[in-house]
A and B are shown apart, each in its own frame.
Chain A
């Protein structure tokens, strides 16, 4: 077994606070420009570092903060103070991710992980190179479509958009067409959702 390759462009986006086989929640203080995006992929170590759980971020929330609450309740804050709070001061952020696969040291497996990440495990974003590798197969889609009470269609559209952006310009359209086809196949019994998803994907191309 080879250790999980550490991409130099990985960025810490949270530490696990709650977790299960199906997903994990992480928190951190960071500035707005560093916040991850809805639909982005991330990873967190599990099994003592022998595996990496791949998560799909489906929720990002800014947690309650005493200073921010005080400022919100005061008179209209000065512009520079508002900018300080929004772009300079790290704010407490919580992200929620759905487990969509794991890396066992040899390669990606598109299934639920054997164990969840441990509490306080570092959560890193998946850099473009790893996004391309992970989304080379769309075998993770059933795990997303089966997740209850998630905005699945919007989530998949965002994921496809980010995965397409991680690819060279010349490969993006082909990737989106392939992703759309796979969704149509998996959702063949639900034409309404297929339509929604295809419309979202078409919208990303501006057509």
Chain B
């Protein structure tokens, strides 16, 4: 073991003390913040918007929607049948020390017909990217992790669009989907705004814009299919609603400690209830809105150990009571088993590229290179890391 625990031990102790100090300070601040939420809800809408517009640039307040900002909504009835789709992705980043320069995006998905009594269908799509067009951005620079992540996120959403569009037959003999279909809820294990594109300086890049266009086109497909779509964020760290209530109280910037929305709604929401919807404050949301996909979010007490989750939805879900009920009831129901929605757990498992997979992929790449008369050797540095990093020879 190269980690000297004796050195780290006092630092770990300090970490624990700091966490306790923050928790104590938060417990003092939290009741005040909860009161500010109620106060902000009593403000005239135009006055509230005026105060939000005056918030300092460092704050990122959520924008209220048609729902009162302190409202909470009980769990709606779950439909007798619900088709649940989930997709998740993982990636292998390019490694200049590897035998070849490439990256891979791996997408896992599941199509589960709750109430059908039939096993779900799963899929994994693995795509190796090795063309110059894939490996260089439009500035001619090597592709960066942000762009790969954006392509992965777009691939996840396109997989959901493929599932809602395509004809689905159960692997088990039986009636085709059309005879058993119910409403459809599509889930992503992430927020719905394309993160790479949300960084202003990147949005102007043609390669990022191309990914954004693909992403928005997939949203079009999902909207037109009649499905509900939600991005599920477990243990969220956002503070957009905290920023809202502090800006409304002219306390923007807040006195330390900075609290999160999760803490605020942990106090405000009972099990299985959801908060009001809010408009996502990111600037890229304007572009989403212009294309008919403004992103909103709400907080949901799932009833599970982690309690409060953030759920992001497009405007066309928010405006449709039936789709909203499906998102709310469907997520709570799926959290009963595994704390986070079961289809997301399985999609993640199907997408994950583990160390063993990575080693097997490297072996295949090396063999292909050698077959074509090219040295399949990793760099000397990669070799030395392998020699020193492998503590267990045999791992299944």
Contact = CB atoms under 8 A, between A and B. Distances in A.
B119 A87 contact: yes
Contacts of A15: 396
Interface in A108-122: 119-120
Interface in B111-141: 112-122
A74 B112 CA distance: 19
B342 interface: yes
Interface of A: 15, 17, 27-28, 67, 70-71, 74-75, 77-81, 83-84, 86-89, 119-120
27 contacts: A15-B396, A17-B396, A67-B345, A67-B349, A70-B337, A71-B337, A71-B338, A74-B337, A78-B114, A78-B337, A80-B112, A80-B113, A80-B114, A80-B115, A81-B112, A83-B119, A83-B120, A84-B110, A84-B112, A84-B119, A88-B119, A88-B121, A88-B122, A88-B171, A89-B346, A89-B349, A120-B396
Contacts of B117: 79-80, 83
Given A71-B337, A71-B338, A89-B346, A80 B120 contact: yes
Q: Which 10 A-B pairs have the closest CB atoms?
A: A83-B119, A87-B119, A119-B394, A27-B396, A74-B337, A84-B120, A88-B119, A79-B117, A80-B112, A80-B114
Contacts of B113: 80
Most buried by B among A74, A79, A84: A84
Contacts of B115: 80
* Interface class of chain B by DSSP: mixed
B237 interface: no
Contacts of A83: 117-120
Contacts of A80: 112-120
Interface of B: 110, 112-122, 171, 336-338, 342, 345-346, 349, 393-394, 396
Contacts of B342: 81
Given A27-B396, A84-B112, A70 B338 contact: yes
A119 B396 CA distance: 10
B357 to A, nearest CB: 12
A120 B396 CA distance: 7
A125 to B, nearest CB: 18
Nearest to B337: A74
Given A83-B120, A87-B119, A67 B396 contact: no
B346 A84 contact: yes
B120 A77 contact: no
A81 B394 contact: no
Contacts of B112: 80-81, 84
Given A28-B396, A67-B338, 18 more contacts: A17-B394, A17-B396, A67-B345, A71-B337, A74-B337, A79-B117, A80-B113, A80-B117, A80-B120, A81-B112, A81-B342, A84-B120, A84-B122, A88-B120, A88-B121, A88-B171, A119-B393, A120-B396
Nearest to B121: A88
